[in-house]
Amino acid sequence: MKKLSLILALIFVFTCSMLASCNNNTEESSAAESVVSKTESKADASSEAASSEAESSEVAENSSEASSEAESSVADESSDAPAEITGTNIAKDKTYTASQLYQQGGAEVEWNWSDTAPIAYPDEDGKSLTDGVIAAADSSYDESVWAGFHAKCPDYVTNGYGSITIDLGEVTAITGVVFHNGTQGLGAAAGISAPTGVEVFVSEDGENFTSVGSATPLNAADINCEATEIACSANARYVQVRFTAQGWAFVSEVEVFAAE
């Protein structure tokens, strides 16, 4: 009986040990599976976050590129859209005032200014600068189509420029001015060349003038009359063209254009 009891006790102990071992293995397996599951979950979350960040970055880059392209397009359109002179010449046959034309003395004063000398190249009847008659590309300097200004005229010396001021009769929206001037092709040997600069001023009252544009005329050797264009957008009754010269400045016509 004692032997049987001992054997049963041993069997019981062995059975309990086996059961305990199985339970431990099961718990360790469950814990391992839990760790693996958590690790995979974190990896999946990290991957999704990285993917989301990449997509957001790509969207931001595309948006930035699109914005830059749009801004570049606007800038290009702005730089490629120069002002244009359009409409009708409304200065034709309008009255105007002008600075002194050159009264050229003879050899005794070395062909300089003389108060008693006649105007060398007069403005015929004070109308030729808006009569619609423009010098041809090969016109000679002694033709009546020209009026001759000079840097040695007293008022030019005082002001620093010659000028022509046209009265349009009423305030009008203008798009630009075309100044028909002589160039060195007209008579470089005689000291004739294109003005060194032309600037347009406008006024509604004839007293307060504002600059609205300027240009540097082409001083061509093979063209006697050059059309110098100054595009602008302004409301004006009086349009004044100021020009600078080194010597002679020959002017054939001044046109002022208004939108139709």
The mean pLDDT of 199-220, rounded to a whole number, is: 97
* Band of pLDDT at residue 86, cut at 50, 70 and 90: confident
Based on the domain organization, do 75 and 97 belong to the same domain?
A: no
Based on the domain organization, do 93 and 41 belong to the same domain?
A: no
Based on the domain organization, do 156 and 101 belong to the same domain?
A: yes
**Residues of the chain above pLDDT 70, percent:** 68
Determine if the pTM surpasses 0.85: no
Q: Is the pLDDT of residue 145 over 90?
A: yes
Q: Is the pLDDT of residue 94 over 80?
A: yes
Last residue of a domain, one of 40, 64, 81: 81
Between 19 and 221, where is the model more confident?
A: 221
Between 51 and 235, where is the model more confident?
A: 235
Kindly report, residue by residue over 97-140, the tens digit of the pLDDT. 999 999 999 999 999 999 999 999 999 889 999 999 999 999 99
Between 249 and 49, where is the model more confident?
A: 249
Total structural domains in the chain?
2
Whole-number pLDDT of residue 212: 98
Give the β-pairing of 225-244 and 162-182. antiparallel
Separation in Å, CA 67 to CA 61, 72, 108:
10, 8, 72
Based on the domain organization, do 46 and 117 belong to the same domain?
A: no
Based on the domain organization, do 229 and 254 belong to the same domain?
A: yes
The mean pLDDT of 150-163, rounded to a whole number, is: 97
Q: Is the pLDDT of residue 251 over 90?
A: yes
Last residue of a domain, one of 44, 64, 81: 81
| Residues 90, 223, 195, 215, CA torsion sign | positive
CA distance 188 to 246: 12
Based on the domain organization, do 96 and 133 belong to the same domain?
A: yes
9: domain range? 1-81
Based on the domain organization, do 97 and 165 belong to the same domain?
A: yes
Based on the domain organization, do 215 and 113 belong to the same domain?
A: yes
The mean pLDDT of 253-258, rounded to a whole number, is: 98
DSSP per-residue string spanning 86-114: -SEE--TT--EEE-PPPBB--GGGTT-B-
The mean pLDDT of 235-258, rounded to a whole number, is: 97
Based on the domain organization, do 27 and 47 belong to the same domain?
A: yes
Mean pLDDT of the chain: 79
CATH number at residue 247: 2.60.120.1190
Whole-number pLDDT of residue 260: 77
Based on the domain organization, do 7 and 24 belong to the same domain?
A: yes
Whole-number pLDDT of residue 91: 98
The mean pLDDT of 64-86, rounded to a whole number, is: 50
What type of residue sits at position 246? Q
* Band of pLDDT at residue 186, cut at 50, 70 and 90: very high
Quickly list H helices, the chain: 2-79, 154-159, 184-187
* Band of pLDDT at residue 83, cut at 50, 70 and 90: low
Whole-number pLDDT of residue 257: 98
* Band of pLDDT at residue 259, cut at 50, 70 and 90: confident
Based on the domain organization, do 49 and 120 belong to the same domain?
A: no
Based on the domain organization, do 169 and 214 belong to the same domain?
A: yes
Classify 201 as helix, strand or coil.
strand
Are 123 and 147 spatial neighbours (Cβ–Cβ below 8 Å)? yes
Q: Is the pLDDT of residue 33 over 90?
A: no
Last residue of a domain, one of 39, 58, 81: 81
